[in-house]
Amino acid sequence: MSGLPDNLITFGPNANCTLALCPIEWSAYKYQPSLAANTTFIVLFSLSLLLHLIQGIRYRTAFFATTMILGCITEILGYAGRVMLHTNPFNFNGFMLQICCITLAPVFFAAGIYVTLARITDYLDPALCRFSPKLYYWVFIPCDLVSLVLQAVGGAESSTSEGSSNTANYIALAGLSFQVFTLLIFIALALDYVVRYWSYRRSLTAAERKPLSMRFKVFAAFFSLAIILILVRCIYRIDELSDGYSGPLIRNEALFIGLEGVMIITAAFCLNIGHPGFAFQNHEMEEHSTEKALPSGFESDYSVPVGTK
Distance, CA of 151 to CA of 165 (rounded, Å):
14
What pLDDT is stored for residue 284 in this prediction? 39
Residue 219: the pLDDT is 95
Report d(CA 148, CA 262) in Å as an integer.
21
pLDDT score at 107 = 94
DSSP symbol at 257: I
pLDDT at 298: 52
pLDDT at 283: 52
**pLDDT value of residue 241:** 84
What pLDDT digit, counting tens, does each position of 81-129 carry? Answer: 999 999 999 999 999 999 999 999 999 999 999 999 888 988 888 888 8
Mean per-residue pLDDT over the chain, rounded: 86
The C-alpha atoms of residue 31 and residue 180 are separated, in whole angstroms, by 29
pLDDT for 210: 81
Which DSSP letter does residue 94 get? H
* Angle, in degrees to the nearest 10, between helices 106-124 and 135-160: 180
On whether the CB atoms of residues 5 and 56 are closer than 8 A, the answer is: no
Q: What pLDDT does 160 receive? A: 64
- Please report the pLDDT score of residue 244 as a whole number: 76
Predicted local confidence at residue 185, as pLDDT: 94
Residues 6 or more apart whose CB falls under 8 angstroms from that of 276 comprise 59, 61, 64, 116, 119, 219, 301
Query: Which residues of the chain have a pLDDT value below 70?
Result: 1-6, 159-165, 282-309
* Whole-number pLDDT of residue 161: 59
Neighbours of 1 (CB within 10 A): 10
What local confidence, expressed as pLDDT, does residue 236 receive? 95
Domains annotated for the chain, with CATH where assigned, are 33-205+216-282 (1.20.1070)
CA atoms within 13 A on the CB side of 147: 25
**CA–CA dist 148, 179 (Å, integer):** 9
